[in-house]
Amino acid sequence: MNGKLDKSVPIPLYFQLKELILNNIQNGTYQVEDAIPTEKELSEIYDISRTTVRQAITELVQEGWLYRVKSKGTFVRTPKISQSFIQALGSFNDQIRALGMTPSTEVLDFEVISAPEQVAEQLKLQQKDKVIYIHRRRFADNEPIVMVKTYLPYDRCSFVLNHDLVKESLYPVLGMHEETSINKIRRFIEAVEASQYEQEYMNVEKGSAIQKFLSIGYNLKDEPIEYSVARYRGDKNRFEIVITAK
């Protein structure tokens, strides 16, 4: 392992070890799925207690850099995709490209249906009113990371049906008309367990962590234009929030 600990400085040893391991992950010394030295080995290499080693490893596991396998060891995890989706209006494709990855989309359903009760309520429609239903699976570097179900009022957004949402992003398409351009989004976030749905479409085990987002997009007149339910894989995504003092 590259690097060493400095016991003469007031920086906690567990933190120094944590940073050393993280640096080795980031510079490629440890590759994804590589096993790192055991707690006993790290304790002997750096002449520190196993308690100190355990604290460093535990924090790296909690932060998503490592994962443990009982009786086998501790391994480097595929890094999570860090997104500003919570606080940004930008498209999924733009955010994934900004991270140096290749986005892609599979459109599973793209049709006109009667508005379900909750959708009608959020879009301020009558239940018999028509909506455009879009069901998409979205990928980063060919790995599925999110499932999205989107509903748009048909009377305002019928032009969307003329676009290829495999090749085009929805928000730029909606932005072609002032009355459907998304100006504000309300998002509600909750943690749920993966169901059969996520197992089927995102290759996760039942009970795995899923980040569920309910989003309502509004135009400049504060009228609801979009209602979406997105389910993100908890093992592949983390979300950034920046809070500034007023």
Which tokens in the block code for residue 214? 């309910």
Same domain membership, residue 164 and residue 113: yes
As a 3-state breakdown, the chain gives helix, strand, coil percent values, each rounded to 5, of 30, 30, 35
Is residue 5 domain-resident?
no
pLDDT tens across 37-67, in order? 999 999 999 999 999 999 999 988 877 788 8
Longest CA–CA span in the chain (Å) reads: 73
Q: Which of 76, 101, 129 is the last residue of a domain?
A: 76
Lowest mean pLDDT among 77-86, 121-130, 219-228: 77-86
Quote the CA–CA distance of 139 and 82 in Å, as a whole number.
14
Domain boundaries, position 100: 81-239
Same domain membership, residue 105 and residue 66: no
Same domain membership, residue 140 and residue 41: no
Write the burial class of residue 17 (CB in 10 Å: 0-12 exposed, 13-18 middle, 19+ buried): buried
What are φ and ψ of residue 22, in 5° steps?
A: -60, -40
Lowest mean pLDDT among 140-149, 182-191, 197-206, 235-244: 235-244
Q: How many domains does the chain have?
A: 2
Q: Which secondary structure element, helix H or strand E, spans residue 136, and what is its range?
A: strand 130-140
Average pLDDT over residues 202-224: 90
Q: Which of 76, 101, 126 is the last residue of a domain?
A: 76
Is residue 4 domain-resident?
no
Same domain membership, residue 157 and residue 58: no
User: Sheet holding 184-193: strands in order across?
Assistant: 103-114, 130-140, 143-153, 224-233, 209-218, 184-193
* pLDDT tops 70 at residue 160: yes
Same domain membership, residue 175 and residue 125: yes
Same domain membership, residue 120 and residue 191: yes
Average pLDDT over residues 148-153: 97
Same domain membership, residue 147 and residue 102: yes
Which tokens in the block code for residue 149? 């179900």
pTM across the whole model: 0.66
CATH number (domain holding residue 60): 1.10.10.10
Pairing of strands 237-239, 81-83: parallel
